[in-house]
Structure 1
């Protein structure tokens, strides 16, 4: 059930609420609260959130985005590490969106340690993520909840560009490849720093991921990711040299590369996720 009686939080309401709770944004948890109602509605639209969705939100803070999600979603599960904010969020929703109060579940904890969530399986992850843990949170939740079909997160613009980067680009790296394992990744827009309180010293970007099947290979995700990590640990080197430790020797790395149809002189930034998966599989064949 979506709600028509939802009131969103503006800048004045957010500051008043923070003052009443004795809350000041902390750098420890990377807190920057969104104070613009148009922006949170834009995030919900960009995530295609609808009445069928069970949305996971990480770091709901004072509830700006939570309320916008409750306008459209079937249910919202909000994971909040700050105990004061976790306790206050249900009260805020009861006051600002009384018809939707029962459709919010607050989980007090660290999103990086969450292994299960209450209620129906989540279908989407939509969040204004703390800058300092944004990539690990996205990758952890995609790995943990296979039911998540869509991701729409607001992160530091530089991180957004890295996540959405394509092979061969300057910003392409480990986050780009690992995110692509789970789905199609794209930059869905940019966001001015002025819509936050406190105002950060960087702009933000919106990243959308639409889940698709990972490359079909007879090796695990962990094995593929180990290859990716090794390739980018020494990104200036050719893969023959960079993968020496991963494969056991430079000759073994070359054999795996040739088996996968990849020129050993190639660098990691030139391979897409399917090629990394093929390379990890090739290593198991040449060392069998």
Structure 2
């Protein structure tokens, strides 16, 4: 064990103490390498006095690294056993002063509506099965967030940070860009996790920017994005026909927005999708807009 952080033996001992068996359902893979933890904290540019939100702290490996860096941590944990143990682990490893800087919320991150302390950074090893929905939900619901770094499945991270024209550019790419700039920030070895996952991991860093519009426009834009990528090989005049009431109407809207009706979703950046969404608002009542998917 390194200066208060958890090593492989401590992670297994804690799991045995709590009778925790990592589950795929909750996307649980626990980090046990101190160097990786400190690297995540460094990439996240965590400074003393920062208030950081962490999702899925698990047994506390990353939580300890964030507190070691002098941050205040708001940790959201869905598993009641892990949520109850986390303050105990922190006090045992780092002392009472560090424990006083920790707030644990026993909650599903997808139901969070507000967080205490107005956290400015998100630093988390996101559960792989819900990483994109959780990321987008927090960016929407926690306006105080300005930057951060998340560890996700490599394939998902590359998709989030992809630029228009890329083979992996899709709905998560566009939706993330609504909130700011996302970039990949290095790979993470499978061997730093217990249990060892069967997928590669990657760090994705971000800085929030100025949103292109209000909440109503965001919903319209995300509806257009979902439709555009539902069948990504279709031309936009076809994929958006359901939103606009027909392919001719979709073509007219696309042309008015400055987009080619024969283009496909991967060719449009977020500004172009916003322009199309504005046409949706002009041409169709709000009741025609579909629900959102990540």
Match of 1:161 among 144, 154, 158: 158
Displacement after TM superposition at 1:219 (Å): 5.2
Counterpart of 1:247 in structure 2 is: 244
- Indicate yes or no: 2:24 matched with 1:27: yes
Q: Would the alpha carbon gap of residues 257 and 71 (structure 1) be closer, same or farther in structure 2, given more than 3 Å must change?
A: same
- Indicate yes or no: 2:166 matched with 1:150: no
- Partners of 1:6 and 1:67 lie apart in 2 by 10
- Partners of 2:3 and 2:133 lie apart in 1 by 32
Displacement after TM superposition at 1:114 (Å): 1.1
Contact 1:217 1:277 (8 Å CA) reproduced: no
Counterpart of 2:203 in structure 1 is: 206
Q: Give the secondary structure class of the aligned counterpart of 1:251.
A: helix
- Indicate yes or no: 2:186 matched with 1:179: no
Q: Would the alpha carbon gap of residues 218 and 105 (structure 1) be closer, same or farther in structure 2, given more than 3 Å must change?
A: closer
Contact 2:220 2:280 (8 Å CA) reproduced: no
Contact 1:217 1:281 (8 Å CA) reproduced: no
Contact 1:76 1:104 (8 Å CA) reproduced: yes
- Partners of 2:84 and 2:282 lie apart in 1 by 53
- Indicate yes or no: 2:132 matched with 1:132: no
Map 1:185-200 to 2 at 5 A.
185-200=182-197
Unaligned regions of 5+ residues in structure 2, if any?
Answer: 286-294
TM normalised by structure 2 equals 0.93
Unaligned regions of 5+ residues in structure 1, if any?
Answer: none
Q: Give the secondary structure class of the aligned counterpart of 2:134.
A: helix
Displacement after TM superposition at 1:284 (Å): 2.9
Contact 2:26 2:127 (8 Å CA) reproduced: yes
- Partners of 2:244 and 2:70 lie apart in 1 by 47
- Partners of 2:177 and 2:93 lie apart in 1 by 38
- How well do the aligned residues superpose, as a CA RMSD in angstroms? 1.6
Q: Give the secondary structure class of the aligned counterpart of 2:276.
A: helix
- Partners of 1:8 and 1:28 lie apart in 2 by 26
Match of 1:117 among 101, 115, 118: 115
TM normalised by structure 1 equals 0.95
Displacement after TM superposition at 1:215 (Å): 2.0
Contact 1:217 1:278 (8 Å CA) reproduced: no
Displacement after TM superposition at 1:285 (Å): 3.4
Contact 1:59 1:79 (8 Å CA) reproduced: yes
Match of 1:97 among 86, 94, 97: 94
Q: Give the secondary structure class of the aligned counterpart of 1:220.
A: helix
Contact 1:86 1:108 (8 Å CA) reproduced: yes
Deviations 1:117-156 (A, max 9, x none): 23x1110111001110000000000000111001210000
Q: Give the secondary structure class of the aligned counterpart of 2:58.
A: coil
Map 1:225-264 to 2 at 5 A.
225-264=222-261
Contact 2:217 2:278 (8 Å CA) reproduced: no
Match of 1:223 among 217, 220, 224: 220
After alignment, is 71-80 or 35-44 more displaced? 71-80
